[in-house]
Structure 1
Amino acid sequence: MRKHWFPKPYADFVMRMRVPSGFLLAVCFGLLAAPSRESLLVGGGVSVSGLALRAWAAGHLKKNQDLADGGPYAWTRNPLYLGTLLTALGLAIAARSWVVFGVTVAVFGLVYLPVIEQEEQHLIKLFAGYRAYAERVPLLWPKLPSQRSALRFESAVYWRNEEWKAGAAFLAGMGYLLWKL
């Protein structure tokens, strides 16, 4: 594991700013989107891949109960955040706006990376095996797992994690872009 990139007071602050930063993205998206058929197809494909990754991850995540190391968690420690990034970048591509794309990248780097760091500190305290897991599995960018896990996707866990909300938000965004087209 690496040293901290962000000071704790900053990370604590942005932890509370996740929702407001989403509103900033939504405003930029709403005001600056200029979609084309091509941007909708390409961006939609990127977003759907992110949503699929999020869904796969949500079916493996029993928050604060078990260390999730199976499914996509064998490839990356943060498949939900990687899926979020892909979904948001896909919507930015679909919106066909460099400003929306830049704000999306900035929000992810300045808000979500410190949140990931904070969550890792929580997981280290919660699970004795987290440090060893973190040594094997990359933070964000996936790599092929060195071992298989016995953990399987559970649809009940997917629904308990309310992952359907990400799909609903994506459909709302794409619906807006289709209307704007």
Structure 2
Amino acid sequence: MAVKDTLKYKLTKVTTKTAAAGILGIILFYVAKPELLWFIPGAFLVIGGEWLRLWAAGHLRKNKQLTTTGPYAHVKNPLYIGTLLITLGYSAMAKNIYIMIAGFVWFFIWYAPYKKKQENEKLVSSFGSAWSEYDKAVPDYLPRISSYPGKGKNRWSWDVVKENSEHETAVGVFVGFAMLVYMLVR
């Protein structure tokens, strides 16, 4: 059994961010008052957000090479955009504008700046001028229409999705989605 598959490894991946998201999720379900008018657009956001995350995770070769294919050819942070869409979608499905606003503020005030600083240092160190060129050419959150000219050749791969543990995230997103569907129809 690979070390990455052990419970001990998985527990080390539980961070303050993960715990905060879990607590926010519990609160979201506790205060949810789903209504079809809010639910449907929220469902599209959640599905779109997870689809974007799966697409991005299937291209991302963490710490191996600079990823410039798939959604990364258009925007630097597709995983984060997917997370934001899921957060906003869940909030809409639960008809909770306060959590929606809190999620939006949390994302742009704390999460995105923190991750940008943390990852930028690592990417400069790992990929040097290739990262600097990509960083200047590709926007953080609003996708460019045309592909990045230095786009790589990697194709999407389910094995890469699994390496990035996005299949586990997708299961969690589906469970949350199913819980909100249940709350809507009960």
User: Partner of 2:107 in structure 1?
Assistant: 108
Residues 126-135 or 168-177, more deviating? 168-177
Query: Residues of 1 paired with 2:77 and 2:117: CA distance?
Result: 11
User: Partner of 2:180 in structure 1?
Assistant: 177
Query: Residues of 1 paired with 2:73 and 2:102: CA distance?
Result: 30
Query: Residues of 2 paired with 1:106 and 1:24: CA distance?
Result: 17
User: Partner of 1:117 in structure 2?
Assistant: 117
Confirm whether residue 163 of structure 1 aligns to residue 166 of structure 2. yes
Whether contact under 8 Å (1:17, 1:111) holds in the other structure is: no
Structure 1 segments of 4+ aligned residues over 4 angstroms from their partners? none
Unpaired runs of at least 5, structure 2: 1-14
User: Partner of 2:91 in structure 1?
Assistant: 92
Whether contact under 8 Å (2:67, 2:152) holds in the other structure is: no
Instruction: Give the AA of the match of 2:17.
Output: R
User: Partner of 2:31 in structure 1?
Assistant: 32
Residues 144-153 or 98-107, more deviating? 144-153
User: Partner of 1:11 in structure 2?
Assistant: none
Instruction: Give CA-to-partner distance per residue, 1:72-110, whole Å, 9 cap, x none.
Output: 101111111111111111111111111111221122123
Residues 90-99 or 144-153, more deviating? 144-153
Cα deviation for residue 118 of structure 1 reads: 1.1
User: Partner of 1:75 in structure 2?
Assistant: 74
Aligned residues: 166
Instruction: Give the AA of the match of 2:54.
Output: A
Whether contact under 8 Å (1:25, 1:104) holds in the other structure is: no
Instruction: Give the AA of the match of 2:133.
Output: A
Query: Residues of 1 paired with 2:86 and 2:123: CA distance?
Result: 25
User: Partner of 2:131 in structure 1?
Assistant: 130
User: Partner of 1:9 in structure 2?
Assistant: none
Unpaired runs of at least 5, structure 1: 1-15
Query: Residues of 1 paired with 2:37 and 2:47: CA distance?
Result: 15
Query: Residues of 1 paired with 2:46 and 2:181: CA distance?
Result: 15
Query: Residues of 1 paired with 2:110 and 2:168: CA distance?
Result: 20
Cα deviation for residue 170 of structure 1 reads: 1.6
Cα deviation for residue 146 of structure 1 reads: 4.2
Q: Which has the higher contact order (CA 8 A, sep 6+)?
A: 1
Instruction: Give CA-to-partner distance per residue, 1:100-137, whole Å, 9 cap, x none.
Output: 11221122123321123211221111112101100110
User: Partner of 2:46 in structure 1?
Assistant: 47
Instruction: Give the AA of the match of 1:143.
Output: R
TM-score by length of 2: 0.82
TM-score by length of 1: 0.85
